[in-house]
Amino acid sequence: MKENKLENFLADLENRGIISAVANKENFLALETSQQCLYLGIDCTADSLHIGHLFQLIQIIRFATIGFRIILILGGATSKIGDPSDKLKERPQLEVKEIENSYQQITTQLTNLLLTRKKMLNFIPLKKFYFEDLDLLSKIYQILQLDKQNPEKKYWQYIWPLSENNSSFQLFNNNDWLSKLSFVDFIDQVGRKITINYLLAKETIKQRVNSENGLSFMAFSYSLLQAYDFYYLYEKYNCHGQLGGSDQWGNITSGLKLIRSYYPENKCFVLTCNTLVDKEGKKISKTGNQKTIWLSLEKTSFQDLYDFFSNMSDEQVIIYVKQFTFLSDEQIEKLLVLNNPPKLRILQRILLELIFYLLHQQKGLDYLVKKS
């Protein structure tokens, strides 16, 4: 039964187009309840998270729904170096004050999104969207399994799948342990276990070493520091898994190697998420050419956030609804049938509702009501 639950869960992630790769899948499927702990690392290289981060945060919420403990690691230490993955040249060095400010801003965002107790709402924006077509609204309620007379009671199930007082999430700063680790101790504990040949075989490192700009020893060490994070969390918090973007594969598998060198019989695993792309197939990130969708209202207004999701094509919104919402395949298929003609834009509006609530709670939903 235990394996079936995890196997079905992983199959659902793959079906939604979320998972890029899995290392040690057999370990994941064999996890005991006490070992079901996953971590996600975020460096403090900007003073806000962006939509690519939100994509990954939605996935850790999914893990929490099946009982996983979730550890969020902010890179107070690793941000001083900068991840060389997917970069053709050295990242610009950030001032300590910049990193500290970014750490505070991101901590606030994560706290609001994941750690703050969610308040039950007494209205549903969909009522405002479709108040002129009560028959359509009733059919949407039925698909979403909302009570026609009192839909607020079950509204929670598709907008926020965890209980009001869920305590699955912990937030740490890797500076708390990396700053206490001397260089000699680090080389002894990590450098002794991972060879230069192993690191040079990593595609991202190989590209940088052979590039015109080369690769500094500092950037070369980033993968070792991230590996140590995983090793530290495994020892101290019984954390068995790591989630990251597909461009993180080299770094997070180094963590597996380090843990295995000390604990050969471990049950650790890693999963990487597919890259979030726009309608033209371009990677969505803060370094791309397209407009970045930040989670901070100071950087991306309600209007810009609204436009991004409401103007999404019918083809792309299907992908986003699968990857960003907690609706089942069956519910999504029924909504697609109901969305006739497509100008009803039911999926776009459900996506807007979930995103605005997760990011801005009541204030966000109030804005949607005004837009309707």
**Residues acting as catalytic residues:** 45, 50, 53, 87, 91, 226, 247, 283, 286-287
SS3 for the chain is CHHHHHHHHHHHHHHCCCEEEEECHHHHHCCCHHHCEEEEEEECCCCCCEHHHHHHHHHHHHHHHCCCEEEEEEECCHHHCCCCCCCCCCCCCCCHHHHHHHHHHHHHHHHHHHHCCCCCCCCCHHHHHCCCCHHHHHHHHHHCCCCCCCCHHHHHHHHCCCCCCCCCEEEEECHHHHCCCCHHHHHHHHHCCCCHHHHHCCHHHHHHHCCCCCCCHHHHCHHHHHHHHHHHHHHHHCCCEEEEEHHHHHHHHHHHHHHHHHCCCCCCEEEEECCCECCCCCECCCCCCCCCCECCCCCCCHHHHHHHHHCCCHHHHHHHHHHHCCCCHHHHHHHHHHCCCHHHCHHHHHHHHHHHHHHHHHHHHHHHHHHC
